[in-house]
Amino acid sequence: MTRLSSYPWHICGVGAIGSLWASALIARGSKVTLLLRDADQLTQYQAAGGINLLEDDQKVHTQPNALIPDTPPHEPIKHMLVCCKSYATIGAVLPWRKHLVDDAQILLLQNGMGSAQALQRVMPNANIYYATTTDGAWRMSPFNVVRAGIGETFIGCFSDHLLEAEIPSPIQRLLKTSKNSHSLKNNPLTPILNISWHTDIRTPMWHKLAVNSVINALTAIYQCTNGELIKHPQGRPRLEQLCIETQDVMARVGIVPLAQGLLNTAVRILQQTALNKSSMLQDCQAGRPTEIASINGYIIAQGALYHLPCAGHKQVCEDLQQACALPTKSPKN
């Protein structure tokens, strides 16, 4: 049987989720190399002494090799995991393009949609896969990450030239090892990754997009936690309107609706994560660009194809830009 370590992974975008996956892959015997943005990020990595993951009051420390574009890898890149913000995808991947083999597998694990389309246009021969996760993690500081919840990750094909039922060997190996997440003898904690292959990855991608589109921007606009949005006098009516608009777009593009309905699902998630701050609220408060154009903006663009106005989503985009006083960035759809 081929060992997981036979499939080295290069991780581009080492925030909370990228750090979590790096820790989990290394614990399972995979060789991991971090592809950092620049010398400043490399300095942060060195100052942190590697990746420090805190889960259930136990700390997992790993120190994979880290590179920047000025110090290219000694071996070609065959398997790339991209966990950066959706709007940063092209800028993050292209510096490593000449080191990617022709048939490299690129796995995008991000919020929002549109980045895969943009990357495929730039790299038409790339084998691109989508991943969507409900795992929770947040970053205390660079390369110091807290595991906030164990979820499920779906992986599937994006590139049109790939067969939906044909799973590449590196991902097959991930699937085989994902359920075996018990503690290892020489490691007090092995971070759990629940990974499944999905033959129609668009459906879970759209379901997550839908939930994010009705929650994230509103929490950023009203500067509230997830739980506070449930009964917010201005936010709650807008939440309901966004759900109606989003479901209309999903129906037009042929996406199976969420089993419990979008509004019920969104409220349930808000209740379960009542004390959490959405990633968009955190970005807004930290003065970083948001991913709204890859979330609400993507829904607006898809709705326009069917002449749906999506007025609520458009207003949310305008309000968020004023609330954050920052431009939002996204690849073209």
**Which are the catalytic amino acids?**
208
Q: Comparing C-alpha atoms, which of 147, 194, 139, 189 is closest to residue 26? A: 189
Rounded to the nearest 10 degrees, the angle between the axes of helix 292-304 and helix 311-324 is 160
d(CA 169, CA 73): 22
230 near 188, Cβ under 8 Å? no
Secondary structure E strands in the chain: 9-12, 32-35, 51-55, 58-62, 65-67, 77-82, 100-109, 127-133, 136-141, 144-149, 153-157, 195-197
Half-sphere exposure of 109 (CA within 13 A, CB side): 27
Q: How many helices (H) and strands (E) would you count in the chain?
A: 12, 12
Angstrom distances, CA of residue 192 to CA of 41, 96, 195, 324:
27, 29, 9, 35
133, amino acid identity: T
Q: Provide the CB-side half-sphere exposure for 99 (13 A, CA).
A: 19
147 contact partners, CB below 8 Å, separation of at least 6: 20, 53, 54, 55, 56, 135, 136, 137, 191
Structure tokens at 22: 């790096």
- CA–CA separation, 249 and 308 (whole Å): 7
